[in-house]
Structure 1
Amino acid sequence: MSRSVSEISIEKVRGHSSYTATDTLAVEEPLEIQLGYGPSTARKIKSISVTMRTPGYDFELAAGFLMTEGVIRDAAEIQQLGYAPEGTQEIAEEQVNDANLLPYQPRRNIVRVELESDVAVSLAHLERNFYTTSSCGICGKASLLALQSVCPPRARNEFSISAPVLYELPLRLRESQALFSSTGGLHGVGLFNEAGQLITMHEDVGRHNAVDKLMGAEFLIERVPLRNTLLLLSGRASFELLQKALMGGVSMVAAVGAPSSLAVHVAKRFDIALVGFLRDDHFNVYHGAEHISGFHSSNEEGPL
């Protein structure tokens, strides 16, 4: 059984009767990301994030998180990437299993990223953890300024795609989501080119983790920045996801769901074409209509 899914026995009800059946669930477990840094004579280890994720592509998730948060800019800055040594997990496996929860594997729930000794790490930057939570009290304007201070240089956005191709992308992403097909409980993200060809995709119970896995995989094989690509989200488009797209150099973001107001601000400020409510025959353009061909603008108010 893959670590990404788990089978349990359930009671299935149909009308006025029921029967016992087996259901497949998407696994959700915590992943701690640790950072090792400093000169060889005085190495330090710091826990910088804990996220609930679907096990699988953990190393890509960690690398993607560090890249999209502006901690590292080049895969060459990573000296070693692996699971932390045993004995570094505070909760014992038997304690969790005694609580009658699903099988839990703490030895593979901590990823440690060891940086090269000459890589400078800003502790103030890490501890501030700007713009990743809504409870930190940072306003939208401050979040945009913080993002501007760490984002890599942006090239002119020359991405172009046609509306008929856009309409096909959600189905292409869904057809590639093997775990979603078996569980129905995972978010999917896909990276597409101008012709609508799927470059790569990832799934996770957390949409931000799915994006980090995708970004991290591309980052580790040195294909970032992802210029002239479209990032498709199976759900809504939040500020955090636009932030990750920006850090990865993506030219366009399309979402099946709605964008947030701050996500639209990011798209406009950094010239990322942004589409929401992408369905079989309609979508909304929140920024960058000039990057989409194949439709005619009447310049008139449509139906409410």
Structure 2
Amino acid sequence: MQPIFTTKITKFKSNDSFECDDILVREIKLDINVNGAKAGSMMATPTDVEALGIGYLLSENIIKSYSDIEHIDFNEAELALNITARIDEGSLNILTTENVIISGCGRSVTASVNPANMKAKVIQNDIKFKRSEISKQMGEFYTQCDLYEKTGCVHTAKLMIGDKFYIGEDIAQHNTIDKAIGKAVMDGANLRDGILMVSGRLSSEMVVKAVTNSIAVLVSRTAPTSLGVLIARRFNLTLCGFVRGENLNVYSGAERVYA
């Protein structure tokens, strides 16, 4: 399934009007089925669907590692991702019975927003990133983002591990993180060595996804929420916002950023 489609529009420009083709991003309702049972649905862009499912299950503690996945298949006709895996039944039950409507785009749920319910431990990681490198990477943020270049209508996450980038693009920001994480673990990368960069706000669910997956540094061009900062501080996550030019704000874990 193509992630974009073309439609005719009427464009007004100065005193003129004319018909032309416009490229739009495709939006679908994706069902995620785990071991034959529906685990949830999300509004998504139909790219990297398998990576999205894997990242989502990791972020919700339903699986512990990529090796828990036994089979995964995207049924395009039914818009369903079917996964067979060794799972944590308790985490799956929490997701389906105690989920929270999150602040991301679309109507999505998570069971991991409440810090009291998070299974991730405090991040113990001495990794450091130079301030100028963080600024450089954020300055080049959109240079590898094909869907954004074509449509201007998606969020983006870039997970940098060593000299490799894992990119997630989607209409929903939380999906971009799951896609980037899913692609990284499918490639055998160590998430603890990474820095996660996102295009939008640093709300609680974005912070939780980083913490749950032991990613020590989360960066954005925009602001965090108060709960996002509190969770980052509780779990020793380095949280950087307003990374623009040579400037950035560090809200938590400043010891991992050096001049």
Contact 1:29 1:52 in 2 (8 A): yes
Q: Is 1:133 aligned to residue 98 of structure 2? A: no
In structure 2, what is the Cα distance between the partners aligned to 1:286 and 1:154? 16
Q: List structure 1 runs of 4+ shifted beyond 6 angstroms.
A: none
**Structure 1 residue 129: Cα displacement:** 4.2
Select the residue among 271, 276, 289 that pairs with 2:254.
Answer: 289
Contact 1:190 1:198 in 2 (8 A): no
In structure 1, what is the Cα distance between the partners aligned to 2:123 and 2:15? 61
The residue type paired with residue 147 of structure 2 is L
1:77-127 deviation digits (Å, cap 9, x = unpaired) = 22210135xxxxxxxxxxxxxxxxxxxxx61510011124xx552253232
Alignment root-mean-square deviation, CA: 2.3
The residue type paired with residue 20 of structure 1 is E
In structure 2, what is the Cα distance between the partners aligned to 1:293 and 1:213? 29
In structure 2, what is the Cα distance between the partners aligned to 1:237 and 1:35? 29
Q: Which moved more, 1:159-168 or 1:213-222?
A: 213-222
**Residue 59 of structure 1 corresponds to which residue in structure 2?**
50
In structure 2, what is the Cα distance between the partners aligned to 1:155 and 1:243? 12
Q: TM-score, normalised by structure 1?
A: 0.77
Q: Is 1:189 aligned to residue 188 of structure 2? A: no
The residue type paired with residue 234 of structure 1 is S
Contact 2:166 2:183 in 1 (8 A): no
Q: Which moved more, 1:20-29 or 1:197-206?
A: 197-206
When residues 77 and 198 of structure 1 are mapped into structure 2, their CA distance, relative to the original with a 3 A threshold, is closer
Normalized per residue, which structure has more strand? Answer: 2
**Structure 1 residue 265: Cα displacement:** 1.3
**Residue 23 of structure 2 corresponds to which residue in structure 1?**
24
In structure 1, what is the Cα distance between the partners aligned to 2:16 and 2:101? 46
In structure 2, what is the Cα distance between the partners aligned to 1:212 and 1:126? 16
SS at 2:37 equivalent:
strand
Contact 1:131 1:240 in 2 (8 A): no
The number of aligned residues is: 252
1:159-202 deviation digits (Å, cap 9, x = unpaired) = 211221121112322101111111111111111247xx452212
**Residue 11 of structure 2 corresponds to which residue in structure 1?**
12
Q: Is 1:246 aligned to residue 211 of structure 2? A: yes
Match runs of 1:156-235 below 5 Å: 156-193=124-161, 197-224=163-190, 226-235=191-200
**Residue 93 of structure 1 corresponds to which residue in structure 2?**
none
1:248-272 deviation digits (Å, cap 9, x = unpaired) = 2111000111111111111111111
SS at 1:278 equivalent:
strand
Structure 1 alignment gaps of length 5 or more:
37-44, 85-105, 295-304
Specify the structure having the higher radius of gyration (Cα): 1
**Structure 1 residue 76: Cα displacement:** 2.3
Contact 2:238 2:254 in 1 (8 A): yes
**Structure 1 residue 216: Cα displacement:** 1.3
The residue type paired with residue 31 of structure 2 is E
Q: TM-score, normalised by structure 2?
A: 0.89
In structure 1, what is the Cα distance between the partners aligned to 2:150 and 2:193? 32
Structure 2 alignment gaps of length 5 or more:
none
**Structure 1 residue 245: Cα displacement:** 0.9
**Residue 68 of structure 1 corresponds to which residue in structure 2?**
59
Contact 1:32 1:109 in 2 (8 A): yes
Contact 1:255 1:278 in 2 (8 A): yes
1:18-71 deviation digits (Å, cap 9, x = unpaired) = 1111111111111110111xxxxxxxx221111111101111111111110000
**Residue 99 of structure 1 corresponds to which residue in structure 2?**
none
In structure 1, what is the Cα distance between the partners aligned to 2:50 and 2:99? 23
**Residue 42 of structure 1 corresponds to which residue in structure 2?**
none
In structure 1, what is the Cα distance between the partners aligned to 2:85 and 2:134? 39
Contact 2:40 2:96 in 1 (8 A): no
SS at 1:217 equivalent:
helix
